[in-house]
Amino acid sequence: MRQNIIKKILPLAVLVVTAFSCSDDLERNPYDSIGVGQSFETFADAQNWNNGFYQDIRNRVSGYVQYSTDLQADQLNATTDFGNRNGFVHRWEGFLAADGGIASVWQNYYSAITDINIALEGFETFDFEDPAELSDLNKFKANAHFARAFHYFGLVNRYAKPYNPSTASSDLGVPLVLNYDVNAQPSRSTVQEVYNQILSDLQIAKSGLAGEPGVQGATTFNRDVVLALEARVKLNMQDWVGAKSAADELINSGSYPLLTSESGLNDMWVNDFAQEVIFMPFVSAPDELPASTGAIYLGYDGGSDTYTPDFLPSQWVVDMFDDNDIRKNVYFTQPATVRLQNGDFSGVYVVNKFPGNPNLFTGAFTNYQHAPKVFRIAEMYLISAEAALNIPGADAATPLNELKVARNLPAISNPTMQDLKDERFRELAFEGFRLDDLKRWGEGFQRRDPQNTSTINLGSGYESLSQPAGADKFIWAIPSRDLTVNPGLKDQQNPGW
């Protein structure tokens, strides 16, 4: 199968499952729809379902699902021009179980899982004789299991307590739905049960994709992509040995050398240069583009060559980056003019990690589009180091220092957990990790040190917001509508909502 064919030809939205009478007229499907059974007849049908897995992944790794949790945490300040866009999640006030963002993320994950469950059942009905088609079908099955693991990890990480080995078997996770049943009303499974299912799906994917080697910038799933998710999942599970083993396997493969120059790093974030990238979904303008950060970080106006961002990085965030750090001038820029409703400002840093790939522009100026970098080798160095810090006698210095030196920072001896946290903060800034890292570490936060108080909104919900460790809204609500229509979720709302 060609890697660049990622269109989903048969989305679930057009499938119709209806019981009809024996009348010939009533037995006919609507002219613009087909029955589920008719979408599992040819090898092309199998390919279409497989392509849909990639489309769903592409739509779950960027846009609101990525930036919302960073806006909720402590890296950013709302400007005087932000117009309350993403205001509820940023202020933690008015952020309710009926919030549209909470519902859309939940529904999108479960929509993708529904498609996967239908596909896995349908794949068993194919009767191919061609060995190549049978081989591809087995890969499609492995891809489905990987994608389901990916989506369930996103759900349990966002809507449930962090994994705690002593309480995971009783903590509420998310509903596990492994078969398509339009009448199902599932209750929440435990955190342990959800993670067990994720690991089970990953094991099936690892076996089915064992013969698919990893490549830089892969746009399809392969054994390295499975390892990367395994490392991330096991880190969250406090399976330190397992997380380190998976991360080290990717590091030691030598397939994804760390970038060591500012120009190379800039090329990755501007032009989607793939040297460090383990997986990024296929994108193409104008029809196969993911969600983007939009104007929230840059708000570039090409006509006036000015910037009107909704959010600015706090001063302490900028200060975390040494001037010698090759990431500083890639992740941030200082425009000549930041134009807000109360004036023009200079000397202000804006987030520039997602400036838009010129090859994906659909107009004269940026549309902030990139190929989402779902897994990068830099994250694996951080996972290896963090896991090692939790394993007596393990070597955390080597992976941490290899990353630091690559980014033009001095190596340190005997790194502490704080050293790891600081480096993880720097490397993964604005990629959607911050709130979940704080939750996983059992830490709260205090917003502080805006760059210029005249550029931002001030008050208890803005630059001075403080949240203690374990605050309720580190974990998102089960959407109100689901609680209403699904009796199985009765009395299973997360605390504080």
Tell me, yes or no, whether 310 lies in a domain: no
pLDDT of residue 184: 94
Q: How confident is the model at residue 53 (pLDDT cuts 50, 70, 90)?
A: very high
| 38 confidence band (pLDDT: 50, 70, 90) | confident
Which CATH number covers residue 379? 1.25.40.390
Q: How many CA atoms lie within 13 A of 287 on its CB side?
A: 5
Please check whether residue 494 lies inside any domain of the structure: no
The answer as to whether 194 is a domain residue is: yes
Q: What are phi and psi of 278, to 5 degrees?
A: -85, -40
* Residue 300 falls inside a structural domain: no
Burial 44-78 (b: 16+ CB within 10 A, else e): ebbbbbbbbbbbbbbbbbbbbbbbbbbbbbbbbbb
pLDDT tens column, 279-293: 999 999 999 999 999
**How far is it, in rounded angstroms, from Cα 233 to Cα 157?**
9
Angstrom distance (rounded) from CA 195 to CA 156: 8
36 confidence band (pLDDT: 50, 70, 90): low
The gap between the terminal CA atoms of the chain, to the nearest Å, is: 46
313-345: pLDDT as tens digits: 999 999 999 999 999 999 999 999 999 999 999
CA–CA dist 462, 122 (Å, integer) = 50
Give the chain's domain count. 1
Across the chain, mean pLDDT equals 93
**Over 80: is that where the pLDDT of 1 sits?**
no
Does the pLDDT value for residue 21 go beyond 80? no
The per-residue pLDDT for range 253-263, each reduced to its tens digit, is 999 999 999 99
Q: Please give the share of the chain, as a percent, with pLDDT higher than 70.
A: 93
Write down the pLDDT at residue 39.
85
Question: What is the residue range of 217's domain?
Answer: 12-282+373-489
Could you tell me the pLDDT band of residue 4, with boundaries at 50, 70 and 90?
Answer: very low
326 falls within a domain: no
- 3 state DSSP class of 39: helix
Q: Identify the band that residue 6 occupies on the pLDDT scale cut at 50, 70 and 90.
A: very low
CB neighbourhood size of 384 (10 A) = 30
pLDDT per residue over 433-475, tens digit each?
A: 999 999 999 999 999 999 999 999 999 999 999 999 999 999 9
Reading the block at residue 456, the tokens are 């931002």
Higher pLDDT, 34 or 287: 287
> Using one digit for the tens of pLDDT, what is the confidence trace for 229-283?
999 999 999 999 999 999 999 999 999 999 999 999 999 999 999 999 999 999 9
Question: 37: pLDDT confidence band, cut at 50, 70 and 90?
Answer: low
Residue 466: beta bridge partners?
A: 446
**Residue 29: pLDDT above 60?**
no
| pLDDT at res. 220 | 98
As a whole number, mean pLDDT of residues 134-152 equals: 98
In a domain, 351, yes or no: no
Tell me the Ramachandran region of residue 415: left when phi exceeds 0, alpha when psi lies from -120 to 50, beta otherwise: beta
Burial of 478 (0-12, 13-18, 19+ CB in 10 A): buried
Q: Which amino acid is at 318?
A: V
Is 180 contained in some domain?
yes
Find the helix or strand (DSSP H, E) in which 343 lies: strand 343-345
Whether residue 161 lies inside any domain: the answer is: yes
Question: Does residue 23 carry a pLDDT above 50?
Answer: no
Please report, for residues 277, 330, 401, 431, the alpha-carbon distance to residue 269 in angstroms, rounded to integers and kept in the order given.
11, 8, 22, 12
Looking at residue 35, what is its pLDDT? 53
Average pLDDT over residues 164-193: 97
pTM given for the model: 0.93
